[in-house]
Amino acid sequence: MAINPCKAVLRQGKCALLICDVQERFAKAMFEFDKITQNSTKLIKALKLLDVPVIVSEQNPKALGKTIPQFDISNAKGPFAKSQFSMCTPEINDELSKICCGQKPTSVILIGIEAHVCIENTAIDLRGDGYEVHTVADCCTSRSQEDRLLALERMRDIGCHITTSENVIFKLLGDAKHKEFKNIQSLVKVPTLYTGLVPASKI
């Protein structure tokens, strides 16, 4: 499916980051969880420098724990507890509708777990509400790699932009003259960790 290139653009002031259910009890069950955590931490730090607003959800936190401490969510809205598999609860929808200086963003950057459950259901709802969705593949996972990869394919089929953490960072940065370029540069010097998204033979 051809994508309008104008819709693949990310701009400061017109996008938000949604962090879905990256909680303590999931750590041992998820495929490549430590690598996903490191990639996501870099992305979260970069988007904080770029003033991208953040919303965090937690699935049944009484049973599954809080968001992992590696993530700096001190500037985020939430965490919002939920039981449904989509992040698009009434509370979160309300926050999202006004998160960009009182207005809704045109684009949502989506990271978290599980790719085939809460991430995919969130993406479906966001697309239905007219948002451009940028699913960050190297910051999303599931218990199995098969479920993860097939979920990314399905999300692409409904018009999501399947992307990577560094692609998002540099789209938002836009220019080496950006005031945060040097700070971002120091973050991206740490290589993005390989999480099996493409065959190792192609790297």
Catalytic residue ranges: 21, 82, 118
Residues 6+ apart with CB under 8 A from 164: 136, 137, 138, 192, 197
The SS3 call for residue 195 is: coil
Helices (H), 30-164: 33-49, 61-64, 90-96, 120-128, 145-157
Q: Is the dihedral of CA 181, 189, 69, 137 positive or negative?
A: positive
Q: How far apart are CA 140 and CA 138, in angstroms?
A: 6
Candidates 140, 138, 190, 145; CA nearest to 167 is 138
The SS3 call for residue 191 is: coil
Region of 49 (left: φ > 0; alpha: ψ -120 to 50; beta: rest) is: alpha
Residue 56 has a CB neighbour count (10 Å cut-off) of 22
Whether 53 and 77 have beta carbons less than 8 Å apart is answered as yes
The DSSP secondary-structure symbol of 34 reads: H
